[in-house]
């Protein structure tokens, strides 16, 4: 007796495609570095940081306290505006963005000499604008991530975004950054070196307003095109028919 069966959900070529996919996934298995030092049994309360940090540079939204030691009646709080400037009762439109508090204080002393014979000025940051970075592309939870303190690293930002998807091209992760004169530039990231432990130094710290972008793989792009332009128009019951002869 011959039994004829039909599987509407198994389309022509799917078994071969599944085997090919398994082979590709096996060939792309992630190899972790084997020569890593062991983690200490008793870690430090705070992870070690750099021995010397770079001077802090003011950001948009920072609240500054301008203090005049000999003329306290002129003390005031000012905020770094979106255009990167600050204005006081004596000096208007003083550049502040990406400068150190000491540099701003030096500029203010020059401006205040028009009304004071010996201005003694200090600039103190009362509150810091939060750091903002962005993650987009093939991650599970893209968006804006706000922190206070040191900026996130590449791996920390991607962890905040829920990790990368299976459709992500891990070899082509890059960072978009606004450079000099606000000109955008793309910077390569060795993400595979980070997650395998082979190049931990590639886990660089992001700059304010950086965007980490994770592109799709070429295979996924091809599948998305096939699904959008071809697969959805195929008949629902298209399938594979085979014959089973229990007597053979």
Task: Convert the pLDDT of each residue in 15-49 to its tens digit.
Answer: 555 555 555 555 556 777 777 888 777 776 666 66
Same domain, 140 and 105: no
CATH code of the domain covering residue 113: 3.30.1950.10
pLDDT of residue 41: 78
CATH code of the domain covering residue 157: 3.10.560.10
Same domain, 135 and 123: no
Specify if 34 maps to a domain.
no
Task: Convert the pLDDT of each residue in 145-194 to its tens digit.
Answer: 999 878 899 999 999 999 999 989 999 999 999 888 888 999 999 999 99
Specify if 47 maps to a domain.
no
Distance (Å, rounded) from C-alpha 182 to C-alpha 113? 33
H/E segment holding residue 68: strand 63-68
Q: Long-range contacts made by residues 25-29, C-beta under 8 angstroms, separation at least 24?
A: none
Q: Answer with the one of 72, 95, 127 that is the final residue of a domain.
A: 127
Specify if 195 maps to a domain.
yes
- Domain with 156, as residue range(s), is 131-222
Instruction: Provide the whole-model pTM.
Output: 0.67
Specify if 144 maps to a domain.
yes
Q: What is the dihedral of CA 180, 184, 188, 194, to 10 degrees?
A: 80
Specify if 37 maps to a domain.
no
Specify if 115 maps to a domain.
yes
SS3 224: helix
Residue 227 has pLDDT above 50, yes or no: yes
Q: What distance lies between CA 86 and its chain's CA centroid?
A: 29
């Amino acid at each position: 007796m011959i039994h004829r069966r039909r599987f509407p959900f198994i389309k022509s070529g799917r078994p071969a495609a599944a085997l090919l996919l398994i082979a590709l996934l096996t060939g792309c298995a992630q190899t972790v570095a084997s020569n890593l030092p062991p983690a200490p049994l008793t870690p430090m309360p705070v992870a070690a940081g750099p021995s010397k940090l770079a001077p802090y540079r003011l950001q948009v939204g920072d609240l500054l306290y301008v203090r005049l030691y000999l003329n306290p009646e002129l003390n005031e709080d000012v905020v770094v505006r979106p255009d990167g400037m600050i204005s006081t009762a004596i000096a208007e439109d003083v550049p502040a963005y990406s400068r150190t508090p000491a540099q701003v204080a030096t500029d203010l002393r020059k401006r205040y000499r028009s009304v004071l014979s010996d201005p003694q000025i200090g600039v103190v940051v009362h509150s810091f604008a939060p750091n903002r970075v962005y993650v987009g592309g093939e991650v599970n939870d893209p968006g804006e991530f706000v922190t206070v303190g040191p900026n996130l690293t590449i791996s920390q930002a991607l962890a905040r975004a829920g990790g990368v998807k299976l459709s992500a091209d891990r070899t082509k992760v890059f960072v978009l950054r606004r450079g000099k004169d606000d000109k955008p530039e793309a910077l390569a990231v060795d993400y595979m070196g980070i997650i395998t432990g082979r190049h931990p130094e590639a886990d660089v710290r992001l700059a304010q307003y950086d965007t980490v972008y994770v592109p799709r793989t070429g295979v996924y792009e091809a599948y998305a095109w096939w699904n959008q332009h071809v697969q959805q128009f195929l008949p629902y019951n298209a399938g594979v028919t085979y014959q089973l002869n229990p007597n053979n």
